[in-house]
């Protein structure tokens, strides 16, 4: 792996780590303090963390050149974020309702899977 790609992956992991903390904090607040449904809590956490993730990814992680318009980049980011949200919701539903695992553990698994999906789609479509 070349040095540039390694740095990019490291930045992506840092941004993703902060987004995960935001996402996890929001889901716990929504579930434990507000007593929302797990899937709705996961939805709110995901949406808030995606906003942060978009801003940080465009500014710091991916080399978004002038060849792509900001509107196009945002639309691409949102489309793949929605797909990631669908993956997250599916994993949360299967893990909590079907397999009956704690939502706190399932959220970690879902985040890891969606993180891999996010890196490759954003690298391919935004750069």
Q: What would the pLDDT profile of 89-123 be if each residue is shown by its tens digit?
A: 899 999 999 999 998 899 899 988 998 898 888 88
Structure confidence at residue 28 (pLDDT): 95
> Angle at CA 1, nearest 5°, toward 120 and 17?
50
Say how far apart CA 4 and CA 99 lie, in whole Å.
41
Q: Which residues does the chain have with pLDDT short of 70?
A: 1, 65-68
74 Cβ contact list (under 8 Å, min separation 6): 54
What pLDDT was estimated at residue 52?
94
Query: What residue has token string 């942060």?
Result: 52
- What pLDDT sits at residue 77? 84
Ranges assigned E (strand) in 36-123: none
Token duo for residue 56: 């940080």
3-state secondary structure of 1: coil
Say how far apart CA 87 and CA 114 lie, in whole Å.
Answer: 7
CB 100 within 8 A of CB 90: no
CA atoms of 48 and 44, how far apart (whole Å): 6
């Amino acid at each position: 792996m070349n040095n540039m790609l390694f740095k990019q992956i490291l930045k992506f992991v840092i941004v993703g780590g902060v987004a995960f903390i935001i996402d996890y904090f929001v889901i716990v607040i929504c579930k434990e303090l507000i007593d929302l449904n797990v899937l709705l809590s996961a939805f709110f956490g995901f949406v808030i963390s995606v906003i942060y993730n978009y801003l940080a990814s465009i500014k710091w992680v991916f080399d978004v050149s002038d060849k792509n318009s900001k509107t196009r980049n945002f639309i691409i980011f949102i489309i793949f974020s929605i797909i990631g949200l669908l993956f997250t919701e599916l994993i949360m539903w299967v893990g909590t309702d079907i397999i009956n695992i704690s939502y706190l553990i399932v959220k970690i698994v879902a985040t890891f899977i969606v993180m891999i999906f996010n890196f490759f789609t954003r690298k391919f479509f935004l750069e």
